[in-house]
Amino acid sequence: MVSEAVFRKCTEGDSPLFKQGWSGWPAGAKESDVLSWIGGLISQLEAFADNRIPTSAARRKLLAQPKTPLEGSTGKRSMDIGFVDSDIIYKPDTTDSRYRWAHILVVGELKSNPKADIASVAWIDLARYAREVLAAQDTRRFVLGFTLCGSLMRVWEFDRLGGIASEQFDINKEEGGLQFVATILGFLRMNEEMLGFDPTIVTTSGQKYIKIERNGQTECLIIDEVIKRAPCIAGRATTCWKAHRNDDPHNPLVIKDSWQYVDRDEEGELLQEATEKGVTNVARYYHHETVRIRTDDDVRNNVRKGLDVTKATNFQPKRTLPSNVGGTVSRISRQGRSSSSGVKRPSSETDAALPPSKRSYSASPTKPNLDVLSNRIHRRVVLRDYGEAIYKASSRAALLDALEGCIEGHESLRKAGFLHRDISINNLRVNEDKVNPSWRAFLIDLDLAIREHRDEASGAMGKTGTRAFMAIGALLGEQHSFMHDLESFFWVLFWTCIHHDGPDQGRVMRQFDMWNYADMEELAKLKLGTVAKETIFVKTMTDSFTAYFKPFIPLMKSLRKIIFPGDKPWEREDEKLYARMRAILRGACEEFRAVG
């Protein structure tokens, strides 16, 4: 092994680098001193390894700028230590040449105190860095990193189930010194796939593309731009790209990658069936597949290489965080890959202590206790419809017309036997481009959709949807009905009127931003209090709607009366609610068109 040979060299000579610990290791492990020490040691390790590693191996360098924020984050966040490609040149006076989260290959966190090697200190800081990297790099499947608290090190891996870590090892002891050398050399020379990049997305001359097999033919899909990248560690982690076939640049496609629970219906199969049944105003199917990287790309078997988290020293079934962001299993592999426990499901573990996202998020159907042995698999869907989020509609009339079209799409989907269950502001799309052949308004995202069985009560048990837009009954755990989705359309419009002052002017309203992460039962009470009495509802709208959307107050009053009959949530399903909602929207749309 290269690492063993290099470590042996470190112990040889009259002035060995390692003898009962690393020479020059700074007493007190002060951050600046440790950074200088590691920087000097790396150059010596590389020199020892050069004649043992192919010249084609990647060249990387240490990034040690703990006081300098990295570009590309919503806030100012710096990182203690990490690795980047050697060819990236840092020019502090030039914005384009500063280090960015998009440059980071490996994340690291230093603490002088060995006692900081706990979830609430070093681990959560590292998780924040990993989330920034995953958000900034749209082809990243997982992120590797390390914590060094005093001389105590762990190696980490963050994927779509959460964060896992090696057992703690002391780099100033012989076995730990060897592990340290193996880890550093691994970070310096791993290929991009081993670092977590998706090899099925190829970049040539600055152009990204994927290849798919469709109708017996290979097609090349050129990626034009990122539409959406979910800023999370664990979860579905949806990424969408606008794309086109290399031989058909005029017809837009959307490529959607996400990490689905293995026991859920495949969105691609649902979309294919819906398209074949002639569903209107729902994004149309083009292709779907399970991403393969030598084998099906799932977390437990492919990303983690079959690592058994039940053998972690701190493994406990059905436990939550912050106590198990990471755990310990035997030791790290020679490449420095992590080998321990600590996985995450929605609203728990690694992201639990992170600042809440300003975006809404989806809550999948869950049981009260979540099993850490769950698994996620990497799915890819290609769609034939591309549009903007509904709040970007060019006018009030265009927005109302699009909302009516999306309600039509929901009804069409339901008549085909499907219930959407995730009506949210980003899942309603509008297309005002006359040369774009996509639907003029349509629904996307069947991740949480189910087949609706007509001989049973519609829907399925579970709190399902994007929290800020979920119906009151859905928040309280009622069996999901199409009526809940129709109520969600109401909340989408309500939210839009508060958070947008026209197509290109958004804002954050702290009072309502908490809807993204409030306890579900508390949120149900907040929503009920908002709509239970018309005078309160009108005052809320008057105080909170932007100037652009204040003319929608009469419209919202009309919708409230039919969605909350008798000033309370519905009690019986009513198929005619579709038509009544569309009629109100159509009438308001015509009024706004008349006044221009």
In tens, the pLDDT along 281-307 reads 999 999 999 999 999 999 999 999 999
pLDDT digits (tens, 9 = 90+) for 110-136: 999 999 999 999 999 999 999 999 999
Residues of the chain with pLDDT > 90, as a percent, come to 79
Q: For the chain, give the longest Cα–Cα distance.
A: 90
CA-based torsion, 336, 342, 346, 349: positive or negative: negative
pLDDT tens track for 201-226: 999 999 999 999 999 999 999 999 99
What integer is the mean pLDDT of 565-580? 94
Q: What is the pLDDT of residues 227-252, one digit of tens each?
A: 999 999 999 999 999 999 999 999 99
Q: Of 304, 71, 70, 53, which is closest to residue 184 (Cα–Cα)?
A: 53
Q: How confident is the model at residue 595 (pLDDT cuts 50, 70, 90)?
A: confident
**Token digits for 287?**
């292709």
Query: What per-residue confidence (pLDDT) applies to 316?
Result: 67
Q: pLDDT band at residue 332, thresholds of 50, 70 and 90?
A: very low
Place of tokens 């774009």: 436
CA distance 183 to 137: 23
Q: What b/e string do you get for 51-63 counting C-beta neighbours within 10 Å, with b at 16 or more?
A: eeeeeeebebbbb
Confidence of residue 364 (pLDDT cuts 50, 70, 90): very low
Highest mean predicted confidence (pLDDT) among 81-90, 183-192, 453-462:
183-192
Residue 318 confidence (pLDDT) above 70 = no
For all residues of the chain together, what is the average pLDDT?
Answer: 88
Whole-number pLDDT of residue 56 = 53
> 424 and 516 in contact (C-beta within 8 Å)?
no
Strand partners, 466: 362
Burial (CB count within 10 angstroms: exposed 0-12, middle 13-18, buried 19+), residue 151? buried
Strands (E), 112-170: 143-149, 152-159, 162-165, 169-170
Topology agreement, domain 2-195 and domain 388-595: no
Give CA–CA dist 197/192, Å, rounded.
6
* pLDDT at residue 563 in the model: 97
Domain residues of the chain, as ranges? 2-195, 214-277+285-308+374-383, 388-595
Give the CA distances from residue 33 to residues 18, 64, 183, 194, in Å, rounded to whole numbers and listed in that order.
18, 11, 20, 30
Distance CA 475, CA 491 (A): 13
CATH fold group of domain 388-595 = Transferase(Phosphotransferase); domain 1 (1.10.510)
Task: Report the distance separating Cα 169 and Cα 7, nearest Å.
Answer: 16
Q: For 476-531, how does the pLDDT look when each residue is reduced to its tens digit (9 = 90+)?
A: 999 999 999 999 999 999 999 999 999 989 998 999 999 998 999 999 999 999 99
What is the CATH code for 2-195? 3.90.1570
The residue among 342 and 96 whose pLDDT is bigger is 96
pLDDT at 347: 30
For position 330, what pLDDT does the model report? 33
From CA 446, how far away is CA 269, in angstroms rounded? 10
As a whole-number percent, the residues of the chain with pLDDT over 70 amount to 86
Tokens of 426: 């980003």
pLDDT digits (tens, 9 = 90+) for 422-443: 999 999 999 999 999 999 999 9
